Amino acid sequence: MFELSHLRCFVAVAEELHFGRAAARLNLTQPPLSRQIQLLEHTLDVRLLERTSRSVSLTRAGHSFLPEARRLLRLAEGAALAARRTASGDVGSITLGFTAASGYDFLPRLITHFRSAAPGIDLVLKEMVSTDQFESLTSGLIDVGLVRPTFNRREVVSLCVVREPLLLAAPSGHPLTNAPEVQLADLDRQPMVTYSPYEARYFYDLLATLFATAGITPRYVQHISQVHSILGLVKAGIGLALVPRAARNLGFEGVVLRPLALGTSPTVELHAIWRPANANPAIPTLHSTLQRLVSKSEQDD
């Protein structure tokens, strides 16, 4: 089988129609160039060039083979470029897990910035709760997760990408919607739609600690895992709820969001996590985009 070096030599001679100029173009001397052409013709068992002491011309077979030789060289160069771009993280794909709440604000911003910064890298998106993401990460089903901080930080690389307060969600017309901010004491004995202790453990524990510290006892009426479902129940008048600030982006009609009094709302975090052993070369590119988004958010705040 012929080699790429044979093809390069043939194309150079075919385009120059002069061994001396072709040799100079390839930074070779004429004897090894002639030898490369002879090897190619021997491999193909066909004569490609007519040579005299004064001229070089293509045979009919040479004319036919020239465009194919050029095409093969372009394919080889393209394959090498693709390999280099993949190794450098310029092309490829990343499977990204995300929680539903991260899709209200942060995920759309991440996708927009990442597509601009790395148009050659595909994002494969998978919505799942934080615990499922961590299991998928350790088994290699996803490359990066957007999760609540309920993981063992020693097992993954972690970057906090969002810090936001909780807001009170109340149905339109509720007395608490008239206040510019809400005191935690106002929630004592109130019916509350809260989070599932299984699918939304992070929020469940956060609110349990918040209410216990404040010495109040809300009346839990439903345990739900997703914020948009919680807002639907709030709209129906089933109870009040505390939701992350990103829920404002849902524009849920019939639900009013009010801030908690200064110093009473805990900070809700969202983290990007990935395994340090993951060799996907596109991950550093995503990491850089995440860091830029975090820096921009900090400047805007």
> What pLDDT sits at residue 199?
86
Q: What is the mean pLDDT of the chain?
A: 89
Whether 222 and 171 map to the same domain: the answer is yes
Helix, coil or strand: residue 1: coil
> What pLDDT sits at residue 90?
63
User: Final residue of a domain: which of 87, 118, 147?
Assistant: 87
- Region 122-135: what's the mean pLDDT? 89
> What pLDDT sits at residue 120?
84
Whether 173 and 152 map to the same domain: the answer is no
User: Final residue of a domain: which of 87, 103, 127?
Assistant: 87
Per-residue model confidence as pLDDT tens digits over 64-112: 999 898 888 888 787 776 676 666 666 678 899 999 999 999 999 999 9
> What pLDDT sits at residue 154?
73
* Cα 33 from Cα 23, distance rounded (Å): 6
CATH number of the domain encompassing residue 157 = 3.40.190.10
Whether 55 and 196 map to the same domain: the answer is no
User: What is the pTM for the complete model shown?
Assistant: 0.70
Per-residue model confidence as pLDDT tens digits over 36-63: 889 989 989 999 998 887 888 999 998 9
Domains contained in the chain, number: 3
Whether 22 and 76 map to the same domain: the answer is yes
Whether 53 and 202 map to the same domain: the answer is no
Per-residue model confidence as pLDDT tens digits over 231-277: 999 999 999 999 999 999 999 999 999 999 988 888 999 999 999 88
Per-residue model confidence as pLDDT tens digits over 158-215: 999 999 999 999 999 999 999 889 999 999 999 999 999 988 999 999 999 999 999 9
Whether 179 and 258 map to the same domain: the answer is yes
> What pLDDT sits at residue 127?
93
Pairing of strands 191-195, 219-224: parallel
> What pLDDT sits at residue 79?
74
> What pLDDT sits at residue 4?
87
The one-letter amino acid code at 33 reads L
* Cα 22 from Cα 102, distance rounded (Å): 60
CATH number of the domain encompassing residue 34 = 1.10.10.10
The token pair that represents 92 in the structure block = 């490829």
The token pair that represents 233 in the structure block = 């129940």
**157, 295 contact by CB (below 8 A):** no
Residue 180 has φ and ψ, to the nearest 5°, of -65, -30
* Cα 191 from Cα 111, distance rounded (Å): 37
* Cα 160 from Cα 270, distance rounded (Å): 6
Whether 251 and 183 map to the same domain: the answer is yes
Whether 171 and 255 map to the same domain: the answer is yes
pLDDT cut 70: percent of the chain above it:
95
- Region 149-157: what's the mean pLDDT? 77
Whether 141 and 11 map to the same domain: the answer is no
> What pLDDT sits at residue 87?
66
Whether 139 and 274 map to the same domain: the answer is yes
The token pair that represents 77 in the structure block = 């160069």
* Cα 82 from Cα 131, distance rounded (Å): 35
Whether 292 and 219 map to the same domain: the answer is no
Domain that holds residue 33: 4-87
**161, 145 contact by CB (below 8 A):** no
CA distances 119 to 38, 85, 109, 142, 286, Å, are: 44, 12, 15, 20, 12
Residue 224 vs residue 282, higher pLDDT: 224
Whether 123 and 189 map to the same domain: the answer is no
**130, 202 contact by CB (below 8 A):** yes
User: Final residue of a domain: which of 56, 87, 118?
Assistant: 87
Per-residue model confidence as pLDDT tens digits over 21-37: 988 888 989 899 889 88
